[in-house]
Chains A and B, each alone.
Chain A
């Protein structure tokens, strides 16, 4: 039995984060692909509350929720590629940024995609607000983690890749080089890293998925 298992889905941004962290740390793992419409008994056993990916199972013990898994990975395999800063204030800031992406940004993106009128406009505003905050936080660093990819970079892969695919799929362009120069530079740098290219799904595979999702939701709304 593999010591480390990851339950995920191919296009899943949250489980890909977990895999990135393990790859950065050089930790071997077994990957199990889940079918969202037919979840495995193991997934439900390991994550009875949410019944969703990702789940990391280490020596038979499950850990759920991607940010919690990332921190667990960092605390368990400390010697290589530290993901979170040592300084308590920097750590708190990293957690705050991650939370901002996973809560405010994801909700705002949802409003942009599926909201109507005022709600859609509010979503656009909130999306740009988070993007601006991230842009400012980068300052002159190559990565959010400094010289190396860290916790926030891994979490922000959602912005770099998945949000890019969503924009293309629904035909909006909020994240521009003009409005967010540092963030755009970070995206180019981040996505061209070998470990990122090897471990994230190609954008061309994500765009049609989001297009189909968007069209299905739009059709459902109008019927």
Chain B
């Protein structure tokens, strides 16, 4: 199964003319793949976009990420970088001419890394309960997501973005999951964020209006279709 992006990959090409050096192995509905796309778009890096059929993984993916066998993988000058948050930091360090994605001060960097790690663990884990869980587990997942959203809203405060005035690392890490929250409204009755976390919702709208995000995010329908395919796949074992 391969879900093609709604927008053509050519629209993601910018100033960089070394497209043959940067390849992204990806799966369009993946929130982790989305992160890598957004980071590349923010930096104006053109790249070759290869989409994986997760039920029939390519030889290239197996060669580039033999031990985890998962996307995204950024291949730069033939060498693989795996794990979405490691990819974002790599992109930030290599293409450091503009728009830093991480703060420069060590404590702020540690805080940003902590929040991204929190999203990777807690937000992702609870989201999977909402996707896959039976009624009770789904309800637990929703309760947890509300708790995590309140925590994140506290961290955001009155800032435009998690890093301050500038869109960056934590925003990139969270926005694909915020996209999932929108899908959860439709099938899991997850409506509570608007009333309980208004700042987070404003942040979400701000991010979704950003060019790099709107070009990179799967539509909520694509996300939902992918989820249905996964469930069908699991039903067949």
Interface residues of A (CB under 8 A from B): 49, 58, 61, 63-65, 68-69, 71-72, 75-76, 88-89, 91-92, 95-96, 99-100, 104, 129-130, 133
Contacts and interface: CB of A to CB of B under 8 A. Distances in A.
B110 interface: yes
Given A89-B81, A100-B67, A65 B86 contact: no
Contacts of A92: 81, 86-87, 89-90
A49 B67 contact: no
A72 B94 contact: no
Contacts of B21: none
B74 to A, nearest CB: 9
A100 to B, nearest CB: 7
B110 A63 contact: yes
Interface in B125-164: 151
B107 A63 contact: yes
Interface string B194-219: 00000000000000000000000000
Contacts of A58: 107
Contact of A88 (B90, B114, B117): B90
B109 interface: yes
Contacts, number: 58
Given A88-B94, A99-B83, A68 B110 contact: yes
A88 B79 CA distance: 12
A133 B82 CA distance: 14
A75 B106 contact: yes
Given A63-B110, A72-B110, A104 B67 contact: yes
Closest 9 CB pairs of A and B: A88-B93, A75-B106, A72-B110, A92-B90, A92-B81, A68-B113, A63-B110, A95-B86, A76-B106
Interface size class of B (residues with CB under 8 A): 20 to 34
A111 B113 CA distance: 28
Interface of B: 67-68, 76, 79, 81-83, 86-87, 89-90, 93-94, 106-107, 109-110, 113-114, 117-118, 122, 151
Contacts of B122: 49
Nearest to B95: A88
A65 B93 CA distance: 22
Contacts of B113: 65, 68, 71
A96 B117 contact: no
Contacts of A71: 109-110, 113
Contacts of B82: 96
Given A63-B114, A72-B106, A91-B93, 5 more contacts: A63-B107, A88-B93, A89-B90, A99-B86, A130-B67
B67 A133 contact: yes
A104 B89 contact: no
A68 B107 contact: no
A58 B108 CA distance: 13
Given A61-B107, A75-B109, A76-B106, A68 B90 contact: no
A69 B67 CA distance: 26
Contacts of A130: 67
A101 to B, nearest CB: 11
A49 B76 CA distance: 36
